[in-house]
């Protein structure tokens, strides 16, 4: 690793066997102010600031009492909930292993497994008032396929929210460029009082990610 001439920006030498893309990613990580701030604040990832910035605008974190975190790895969102709402019950799920977080129940399994929704609700012990989804499919390098696979996960998360949320609850999910697909947008607008799209400052400018924030769940009886 070498230090560039301008300021404290760090540059990474392309090591043998390391792809140029990987080198650029590592260099970007080392110079990312959000990554540095996350380390200083004790968060596991820069994603913690995405939910903090979304909450600053939409005010859904501090109201939460029962939270389901879909795609919890590495745990930054759950850490934020624990910090600002320590009494909240939190249950998360991810295919990837996640280091334990005090007060958070974590399942290492596929959310698309038929048994996953019931396990999450049973562990939570009540209907959630906030469902978070940071799920994204592993990319295969084909843009349209990657988009469809990820949006399929978002849609599954939305259906889970509609089937389980408490009245007045919220659903917050990562979507891709272009926002929520029309069919999913129709579903959310049918069941929630407000549906907004936002790109928090912590999302990298070159990233295709946006977030959909659906608030004021109408309840299953009223919205069917």
pLDDT at 214 (0 to 100)? 98
pLDDT at 140 (0 to 100)? 61
pLDDT at 145 (0 to 100)? 72
pLDDT above 70: percentage of residues in the chain: 80
pLDDT at 25 (0 to 100)? 40
CATH superfamily of 44-223: Vaccinia Virus protein VP39 (3.40.50.150)
**Of 48, 40, 53, residue with least CA distance to 69:** 48
Residues 6+ apart with CB under 8 A from 31: 9, 10
7: alpha, beta or left? (left if phi > 0; alpha if psi -120 to 50): left
**25 assigned ligand-binding residue:** no
Residue 73 above 50 pLDDT? yes
Neighbouring CB atoms inside 10 A of 157's CB total 24
Whole-model pTM: value is: 0.83
The string of pLDDT tens digits covering residues 6-60 is: 345 554 444 455 454 444 544 454 456 788 888 888 899 889 999 999 999 999 9
**134 assigned ligand-binding residue:** yes
pLDDT at 144 (0 to 100)? 74
Residue 157 above 60 pLDDT? yes
**Of 72, 29, 28, residue with least CA distance to 48:** 72
Paired residues of 131 in beta bridges: 68, 171
Residues annotated catalytic, as ranges? 174
Paired residues of 194 in beta bridges: 215
Paired residues of 215 in beta bridges: 170, 194
**What are phi and psi for residue 166, nearest 5 degrees?**
-75, 155
Better pLDDT: 109 or 6: 109
Contact between residue 2 and residue 11 where contact means Cβ atoms under 8 Å apart = yes
**75 assigned ligand-binding residue:** yes
Strands of 104-108's sheet in order across: 104-108, 89-94, 66-70, 130-133, 170-175, 210-217, 192-198
pLDDT band, very low/low/confident/very high, at 180 (cuts 50, 70, 90) = low
Q: Over the chain, what is the mean pLDDT?
A: 85
């Amino acid at each position: 690793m070498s230090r560039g001439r301008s300021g404290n920006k760090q540059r990474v030498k392309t090591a043998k066997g390391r792809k140029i893309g990987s080198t650029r990613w590592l260099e970007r990580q080392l110079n990312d102010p959000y990554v540095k701030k996350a380390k200083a604040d004790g968060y596991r990832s820069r994603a913690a600031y995405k939910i903090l910035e979304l909450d600053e605008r939409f005010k859904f974190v501090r109201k939460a009492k029962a939270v389901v975190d879909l795609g919890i790895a590495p745990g930054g969102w759950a850490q934020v909930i624990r910090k600002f709402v320590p009494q909240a019950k939190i249950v998360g799920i991810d295919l990837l292993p996640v280091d334990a977080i005090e007060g958070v129940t974590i399942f290492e399994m596929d959310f698309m497994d038929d048994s996953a929704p019931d396990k999450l609700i049973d562990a939570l012990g009540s209907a959630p008032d906030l469902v978070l989804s940071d799920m994204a499919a592993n990319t295969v390098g084909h843009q349209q396929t990657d988009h469809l696979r990820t949006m399929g996960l978002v849609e599954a998360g939305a259906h889970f929210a509609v089937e389980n949320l408490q009245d007045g609850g919220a659903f917050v999910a990562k979507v891709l460029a272009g926002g929520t697909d029309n069919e999913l947008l129709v579903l959310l607008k049918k069941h929630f009082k407000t549906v907004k799209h936002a790109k928090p400052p912590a999302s990298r400018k070159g990233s295709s990610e946006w977030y959909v924030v659906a608030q004021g769940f109408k309840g299953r009886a009223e919205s069917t």
